[in-house]
């Protein structure tokens, strides 16, 4: 009897260990999930209503930094992207897993864009490793390639955060970018890192460009738009 009890206890211990190992191995950045906030769902549903109207040639996919094209970046957006039938698919606070969920639930249904620009991953920095962040971004790319195979993709390197260079956040995001860029094939998937354009020569992220060392002001959006304009024009077949 004691032998069977011991074997049962051993089985329970092994099963518990396997569950813990699986949990530790799971990458939250690649597991699609929505967010519970009413405002988040309303904005998500507004995207679905917008794409039902068609005329979506350029998609901007991301978090608050992309969302900000409707705030500090609005004048720059109107100058560069309104005429291109651009759609802003950015929601403040989103992580890669939230973007994955949105893309699976209507944000790109029934449309045939020429180009999608992806800028996502900074909000994963606290809970995910560089490798996990890169896997989250690459999962988004894979989903877009599957659903919209004729659309080109421009992955932007995750923008630098923190005022001073050399911080753990800067290092982690730079490492994630070094992995993400390997996804580019130069044909349908392209990569562009414009992070240096926001920094001084000694690597400082100044308040004149990103007042909170994360979100661009109007000047920051001007830098962003100018830095990727040539590539966007080329990928959209304008030149």
Cite the active site residues: 64, 212, 215
Backbone angles phi, psi at 156, to 5 degrees: -95, 135
- Give the chain as a DSSP string: -HHHHHHHHHHHHHHHHHHHHHHHH--GGGS------HHHHHHHHHHHHHHHT----EEEEESHHHHGGGTTTHHHHHHHTGGGTEEEEE-TT--HHHHHHHHHTTTTTT---SEEEEE--GGGTTTS-HHHHHHHHHHHHHHHHHH-TTSEEEEEPPPP-SSSTT-HHHHHHHHHHHHHGGG--SSSEEEE--GGGGB-TT--B-TTT-TTSSS--HHHHHHHHHHHHHHHHHHTT--
Asked if 173 and 160 count as a contact pair (C-beta separation under 8 A), the reply is yes
CA angle 88, 116, 97 (to 5 degrees): 75
- Cβ atoms of residues 10 and 3 within 8 Å: no
Contact, 192 vs 228, CB < 8 A?
yes
């Amino acid at each position: 009897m004691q032998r069977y009890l011991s074997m049962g206890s051993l089985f329970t211990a092994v099963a518990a260990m396997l569950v813990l190992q699986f949990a530790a191995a799971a990458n939250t950045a690649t597991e699609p999930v929505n967010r519970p906030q009413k405002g988040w769902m309303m904005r998500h549903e507004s995207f679905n209503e917008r794409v039902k109207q068609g005329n979506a040639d350029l998609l901007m996919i991301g978090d608050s930094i992309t969302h900000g094209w409707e705030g500090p970046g609005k004048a720059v957006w109107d100058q560069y992207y309104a005429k291109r039938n651009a759609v802003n698919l950015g929601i403040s606070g989103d992580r890669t897993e939230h973007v994955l969920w949105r893309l699976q639930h209507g944000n790109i249904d029934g449309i045939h864009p020429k180009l999608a620009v992806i800028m996502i991953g900074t909000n994963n920095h606290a809970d995910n490793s560089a490798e996990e962040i890169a896997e989250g971004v690459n999962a988004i790319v894979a989903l877009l390639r599957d659903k919209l195979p004729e659309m080109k993709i421009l992955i932007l390197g995750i923008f630098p955060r923190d005022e001073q260079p050399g911080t753990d956040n800067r290092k982690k995001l730079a490492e994630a970018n070094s992995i993400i860029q390997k996804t580019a094939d130069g044909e349908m998937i392209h990569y562009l890192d414009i992070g240096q354009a926001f920094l001084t020569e000694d690597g400082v992220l100044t308040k004149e460009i990103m007042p909170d060392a994360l979100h661009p002001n109007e000047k920051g959006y001007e830098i962003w738009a100018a830095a990727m304009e040539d590539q966007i024009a080329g990928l959209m077949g304008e030149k």
